[in-house]
Structure 1
């Protein structure tokens, strides 16, 4: 990730957070219990919504984003430890976590299939994955537009793919989809899956 987007991320996201994302994050994160791993934790926008977790380990590859999350870590209702790490190569033993959370992160992971394999490795058997993502739309014309715009968008927005099919990627990883909530005609999904 570059240096510009991390510095202005919260300001860029503020309107979307107020209008839609805050309620989706609350809906999803309030389900997180036990030992939780959050991947791509960014500036810690999810941290205020953890209330039932025993402890949260948050991984973020970008040091600027990690630094910006410190204030939210200190204000959190549950213990949160943030470390610099990549979801494609997690520094944890097998079966370490009860639940894993990822919000607006699979769009930027270079190899989501590798990351999902790692998540399955560190997630306990029958553990839960909670995901909030923007995804490729089902409508063919809209999906073509997303595919057409993605190469430019990726360069402007630090590797963000507009046309990822995250739901299919999770299914293909071997996880079982338990719930899917669609927002904005399916542009955004809240997904709950079981390992």
Structure 2
């Protein structure tokens, strides 16, 4: 990646085709404190002269160094931070606006966690601006983007975008070729460019309200073959609203929000058998530094188990339905990113072949139809990736639906037979390698033993 800042500078040094669009956004929102995410070497700084407080974040350490040098020359105080888009070092509700400039979102995977972080650090009512490439423009051979940037793009650079076959319909390889003083340099960057429907769905899942969608640098209305997707969205003042779409999910959110402060003590007791099973399954992989996704991460209990076997993930992501649980997991400082999401709706992972381990424990009994979720995990898993999951065991001849009432909230638990679990994993595309019955935990409320089906499955091409 050492060559990337150099080629990036050559490519974008004189690029300003998006300035009109960004300035229009700033004029309409009038933010006092903004975050420029993926700020690069500060190409858009001239647009921020009237903003009271500007924070610039980039994942490239070298870019941040160049950015600091540029800011010194400009003589205005900016805060510059080296950080990934999926793990922003800011408190909740910090910014009036977040801007992700031209094509930068395509390199901010996993997008689920990037957008989750944008939603978290924006104030209620805060505005989000993003300009991304429309993948349909590549598929249909649209040349609108080439024409739009021809006059402002550095002539020493050529660019070609090629679909990456076998890796997902939204993944592309961008080939940058620079010609300087007779020397030819080439850099390939893999990018993820979801279409407009998927981006809208992702933003709405984090309670964003879409204000407008334009299709080019001139803010003309979006159409299927527009070269760009220019999104302007507002963070809803209300709490995350997507969870209320599924009744059982809403009940889970409420119940686990209520018990979040006590959950760590409850789940750390000897009555919980799950950590012992996970230790046995993950111990052989402790030298591999895997990328791990912890679904239903609760208060971050997985971290203690990983410590006990000296397994250090290269990246650790968490997802939970309870916002209070998410806050507690994030507070451990162990996760690279944690977001609130409803697993019952499936998770929009746009980049495929990413996670080495997906841990899904203690939540599938609350999902009536888990096929959508497990299928989305399969796509997001690397070839050979491992799924470790549990299903609550039905002790009768068939599957059971067990209604529960906790306080004023009704909740259903879906108990499954071995045959049902085997079928569910198979139709989701996973290859089941192991399934065993065993004690899950002893309910602290009733004293009853709850049995699980412990399952290990693998992604096989």
Aligned: 1:147 with 2:163: yes
The structure having more radius of gyration, on CA atoms, is 2
**TM superposition shift of 1:62:** 0.4
Write the distance in 1 (CA, Å) between the matches of 2:213 and 2:173: 29
Structure 1: gaps spanning 5 or more residues: none
Contact 2:172 2:191 in 1 (8 A): no
Query: SS in structure 2 opposite 1:106?
Result: helix
Question: Match for 2:53 among 32, 52, 55?
Answer: 55
CA distance in 2, matches of 1:29, 1:78: 19
**Segments of 4+ moved more than 6 angstroms:** none
Distance 1:189 1:28, change over 3 A: farther
Deviates more, 1:173-182 or 1:76-85: 76-85
1:187 aligns with 2:187: no
**In the alignment, what sits opposite 1:158?**
189
Question: What is the rounded CA distance, in whole Å, between the counterparts of 2:73 and 2:131 in structure 1?
Answer: 23
Q: Tell me: CA distance 1:50–1:32, structure 2 relative to 1, closer, same or farther (3 Å).
A: farther
> Whole-Å Cα distance in 2 between the matches of residues 71 and 48 of structure 1?
15
Structure-2 separation of matches of 1:45 and 1:36: 15
Match of residue 202, structure 2, among 172, 178, 182:
172
Deviation string 1:34-85 (CA, Å, 9 cap, x unpaired) is 1111111111111111133211111111011111212432355863111100
How far is the alpha carbon of 1:158 from its aligned partner? 3.2
Give 1:68's aligned residue. 66
C-alpha distance in structure 2 between counterparts of 1:66 and 1:85, whole Å: 10
For structure 2, which runs of at least 5 residues remain unmatched after alignment? 143-160, 166-170, 177-186, 218-224, 236-461
Greater strand share, structure number: 2
Q: Distance in 2 between matches of 1:28 and 1:54?
A: 16
C-alpha change, 1:120 and 1:43, in structure 2 (3 Å) is same
Of 89-98 and 178-187, more deviation after overlay is shown by 178-187
CA distance in 2, matches of 1:151, 1:189: 16
The answer to whether the 8 Å contact 1:32/1:52 transfers is: no
Go from structure 1 to structure 2 and tell me whether the alpha carbon gap of 1:33 and 1:11 turns closer, same or farther (over 3 Å shift).
Answer: same
Q: Distance in 2 between matches of 1:73 and 1:55?
A: 14
Deviations 1:131-189 (A, max 9, x none): 1222212686349x85358554379443333x432663254232111022211752123
User: Does the 8 Å CA contact 2:33/2:53 hold for their aligned counterparts?
Assistant: yes
Superposed, 1:125-140 pairs within 5 Å as 125-137=124-136
Query: Normalising to structure 2: TM-score of the pair?
Result: 0.37
Q: Pick the structure with more helix per residue.
A: 1
Does the CA contact (< 8 Å) of 1:171 and 1:177 recur in 2?
no
Q: Conserved in 2, the CA contact under 8 Å of 1:133 and 1:166?
A: no
- Secondary structure at the residue paired with 1:153? strand
Higher relative contact order (CA 8 A, sep 6+): 1
Q: CA deviation at 1:26?
A: 4.0
Q: Give the distance between the partners of 1:154 and 1:114, measured in 2 at CA.
A: 26
In structure 2, what is the equivalent of residue 124 of structure 1? Answer: 123
